[in-house]
């Protein structure tokens, strides 16, 4: 278990300072076309800021253009897609939403939900196209506007996102959602002052708009203003007394951010409690799953961590840290083939993630029966991977690191294997001793007659003759 703790400790630097990014879709509304899915104002690599199940997608400005209703065939396919999504079946969800858009080209919610799923599957181009198709049907559809702009920012095109949102703000000056989305993009860019100002403007337009509240806290967190972030989160989750009750005590994104802050502060129990609650509220909240699983792995609970991480990948197929930690979890529960598969996926997806070399080193050093790898090959690969990790790691990661100890252990194991191989080779090369002939059997001789001649005949056993 100590090896697992060491492995996961290396991931601390990888916990993203930005939270928000995974998008969810809501269960089917009572009437298709009313309610449904919600906007995302998340950012790079973490959780969903405003994809709570069953949240309404009514316009935040109080004004809306015509919203066409799905036809019956599209509504049925859309409901099937949402059901598949809730079952963590992204391919099934995609099929359902595509069927809905085929049945009704004006099914704007289905286009939005399709974009959500494509983004989770790593299809950025397809997701952007689907978001645009949703706004092509309903130009002021705020969930798609926010989703499109945040994805542009997260995929390295923040200037394009800002230009797009400024155009939307000019056309929709009363929209709190557009202001909040622009605040999130500015926060991603590192412009905290603009982010805070725009989020406050969103709250002036709609005082109860939760995504703007979460953006304020998340931006403080990104800017490392932890106390201010906690203060903002307190208002969302706990309130400030009887006269100021919590704005949204079940906000999963706020729970996630507070859990990450507690984690950085070393408050393990509080962090675990917040992350567990976030996962309970939002099973699709990938970043909460990954961080909670890291705690479980560090404490030796690999089976439960495996379940969390497998669910994370079902919700976000391209989440690199989920695959990395799942590889280590599989190693710990004795599934070396699955561990190798996950870690090699990470190597292909992000070669710059040098922590994968450490986990591969552990796999080859401590696991038995790795498919396609002999024990001798395994120990050679363990040494190679650990030395590569040592070469690439940062100076910060080298503090308290046990890589040298592991390399020494691997070299000792290699020496033992080589000695055994030499002994086996020597035994095989030594000529076998010549077989010795068996000793001859002694000749048989007739028994000697008793003195006085042959014994007398008797009439019956035990009776002498006459």
Kindly tell me the burial class for residue 153, based on how many C-beta atoms sit within 10 Å of its own C-beta (0-12, 13-18, 19 or more). Answer: buried
**How distant is the alpha carbon of residue 48 from its chain centre?**
14
Sequential pLDDT tens for the chain (466 residues): 445 433 332 232 223 222 333 433 333 332 222 222 222 323 333 333 333 333 357 788 777 778 899 999 999 999 999 999 988 899 999 999 999 999 999 999 999 999 999 999 999 999 999 999 999 999 999 999 999 999 999 999 999 999 999 999 999 999 999 999 999 999 999 999 999 999 999 999 999 999 999 999 999 999 999 999 999 999 999 999 988 999 999 999 999 999 999 999 999 999 999 999 999 999 999 999 999 999 999 999 999 999 999 999 999 999 999 999 999 999 999 999 999 999 999 999 998 999 999 999 999 999 999 999 999 999 999 999 999 999 998 766 665 688 999 999 999 999 999 888 888 888 887 776 666 766 666 655 555 544 444 444 334 444 444 3
Q: How far apart, in Å, do the first and last CA atoms of the chain sit?
A: 95
Please report how the helices 72-86 and 90-103 are oriented relative to each other, as an axis angle in degrees rounded to 10.
170
Provide the token pair at 393.
């790691």
Beta bridge partners of 460: 463
Buried b (16+ CB within 10 A) or exposed e, 350-385: eeebbbbbbbbbbbbbbbeebeebebeebbbbbbbb
Q: Which two tokens stand for residue 82?
A: 């949402």
Q: CB under 8 Å to 219, separation ≥6 — which residues? A: 183, 187, 192, 195, 196, 199
Q: What angle do CA 112, 117, 120 make, to 5 degrees?
A: 130
The domain segmentation of the chain, as residue ranges, is: 18-223, 355-423
Task: Please list, in sequence order, all residues whose beta carbon lies within 8 angstroms of the beta carbon of residue 93, skipping any fewer than 6 positions away.
Answer: 25, 81, 82, 84, 85, 113, 117
What is the assigned CATH class of domain 18-223? mainly alpha
Specify the residue for token string 């007659």: 449
Residue 317, CA distances (Å) to 96, 246, 288, 348 in order:
18, 34, 15, 14
How far from 339 is each of 159, 206, 424, CA to CA, in Å? 40, 48, 32
Q: Where are the beta strands (DSSP E) in 277-370?
A: none
Residue 46 pairs in a beta bridge with 21
Length of the chain in terms of residues written: 466
Q: Distance of alpha carbon 83 from its chain centroid, rounded? A: 22
Question: Token digits for 235?
Answer: 């208002």
């Amino acid at each position: 278990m100590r090896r697992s703790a060491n492995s996961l400790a290396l991931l601390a630097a990888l916990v993203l300072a930005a939270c928000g990014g995974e998008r969810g879709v809501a269960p089917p509304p009572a009437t298709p076309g009313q309610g449904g899915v919600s906007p995302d104002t998340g950012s790079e690599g973490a959780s969903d800021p405003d994809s709570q199940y069953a949240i309404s997608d009514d316009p935040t400005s109080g004004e809306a253009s015509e919203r066409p209703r799905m036809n019956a065939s599209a509504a049925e396919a859309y409901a099937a897609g949402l059901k598949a999504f809730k079952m963590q079946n992204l391919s099934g969800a995609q099929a359902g939403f595509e069927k809905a858009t085929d049945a009704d080209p004006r099914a704007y919610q289905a286009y939005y939900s399709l974009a959500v799923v494509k983004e989770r599957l790593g299809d950025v181009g397809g997701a952007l196209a689907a978001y645009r198709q949703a706004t092509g049907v309903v130009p002021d559809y705020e969930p798609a506007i926010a989703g499109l702009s945040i994805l542009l920012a997260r995929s390295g095109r923040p200037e394009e996102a800002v230009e797009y949102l400024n155009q939307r703000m000019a056309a929709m000056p009363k929209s709190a959602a557009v202001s909040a989305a622009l605040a999130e993009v500015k926060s991603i860019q590192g412009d905290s002052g603009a982010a805070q100002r725009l989020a406050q403007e969103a709250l002036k337009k709609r005082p109860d708009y939760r995504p703007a509240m979460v953006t304020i806290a998340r931006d403080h967190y990104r800017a490392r203003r932890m106390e201010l972030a906690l203060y903002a989160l307190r208002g969302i989750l706990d309130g400030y007394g009887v006269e100021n009750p919590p704005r949204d005590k079940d906000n999963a994104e706020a729970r996630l951010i507070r859990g990450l802050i507690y984690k950085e502060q070393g408050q393990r129990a509080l962090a675990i409690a917040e992350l567990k609650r976030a996962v309970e509220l939002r099973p699709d909240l990938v970043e909460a799953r990954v961080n909670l699983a890291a705690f479980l792995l560090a404490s030796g609970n690999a089976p439960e961590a495996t379940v969390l991480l497998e669910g994370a990948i079902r919700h976000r197929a391209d989440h690199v840290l989920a695959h990395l930690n799942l590889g280590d979890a599989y190693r710990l529960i004795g599934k070396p083939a699955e561990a190798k598969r996950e870690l090699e996926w990470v190597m292909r997806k992000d070669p710059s993630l040098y922590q994968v070399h450490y986990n591969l080193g552990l796999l080859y050093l401590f696991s038995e029966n790795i498919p396609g790898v002999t024990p001798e090959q395994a120990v050679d690969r363990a040494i190679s991977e650990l030395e590569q990790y040592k070469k690439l790691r940062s100076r910060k990661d080298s503090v308290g690191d046990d890589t040298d100890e592991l390399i020494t252990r691997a070299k000792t194991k290699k020496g033992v294997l080589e000695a055994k191989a030499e002994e086996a080779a020597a035994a095989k090369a030594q000529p076998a001793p010549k077989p010795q002939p068996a000793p001859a059997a002694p000749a048989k001789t007739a028994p000697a007659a008793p003195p006085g001649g042959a014994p007398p005949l008797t009439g019956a056993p035990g009776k002498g003759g006459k």
